[in-house]
Chains A and B, each alone.
Chain A
Amino acid sequence: AQTVTQSQPEMSVQEAETVTLSCTYDTSENNYYLFWYKQPPSRQMILVIRQEAYKQQNATENRFSVNFQKAAKSFSLKISDSQLGDTAMYFCAFMKPPYGQNFVFGPGTRLSVLP
């Protein structure tokens, strides 16, 4: 079974600074998908970024980028120029193929962006 670990229960960052959230996972699969989801106080789950394991290039989405280290089974999220609206729970998630499987979520990291 796959497991996802997020070792930082809580983090804080000053507005406009950069923060990195850690995620490691365990799987015997060679092909899979990794995601970062954000859950703000509204509790609506919002996709932040996605990475396919077969792609070596790290995914980026505006201020959000990942450092995907397949051999180390590490998938960290970097948030640049942090904004107050980035305050939320962040969940790292794993999905194995085939398409349409359920997600396995990490325990989450609560990020607070301070003014």
Chain B
Amino acid sequence: GAVVSQHPSWVICKSGTSVKIECRSLDFQATTMFWYRQFPKQSLMLMATSNEGSKATYEQGVEKDKFLINHASLTLSTLTVTSAHPEDSSFYICSAPGPNTEAFFGQGTRLTVV
């Protein structure tokens, strides 16, 4: 079945630095990918829609200058958390639409900003 690979699975960074998270579709092309954020014991909240070859679409309240999204190819989308602060610590998950309306999710990235 279709697989989405997300890397890294966890990262610890210092406050003020930037962190890049990659999301790859391994055996299918994804013109669209979605980035979600999940706080502890809560649901997934859509942050932005990544579109191959064009600008990402951000949800209301999400700072596009802090969460930079690049979808440079049909198999790769990246989320860069710029100038990270402790409040950016969270679990980030990407997904891509599958061929039968379902979504395939990456393994998630646990970001801790110290």
Contact = CB atoms under 8 A, between A and B. Distances in A.
B93 interface: yes
B44 A91 contact: yes
B105 A33 contact: no
Interface residues of A, number: 22
Contacts of A35: 102
Contacts of A33: 101
Interface in B38-69: 38, 41-46, 49
Interface residues of B, number: 22
Contacts of B102: 35, 47, 50
Nearest to A45: B105
B94 to A, nearest CB: 10
A15 B101 CA distance: 32
A108 B41 CA distance: 9
A44 B101 contact: no
Given A43-B91, A44-B107, A44-B108, A99 B101 contact: yes
A94 B91 CA distance: 21
Interface SS, A side: loop
Interface SS, B side: strand
Contacts of B103: 45, 47, 95, 103
A38 B95 CA distance: 15
Most buried by A among B100, B105, B108: B105
A50 B101 contact: yes
A74 to B, nearest CB: 19
B32 interface: yes
Nearest to A4: B43
A107 to B, nearest CB: 5
Nearest to B93: A45
A44 B105 contact: yes
- Sorted nearest first, the 9 A-B pairs with minimum C-beta distance are A45-B105, A100-B97, A105-B43, A102-B34, A105-B44, A107-B43, A43-B108, A102-B46, A108-B43
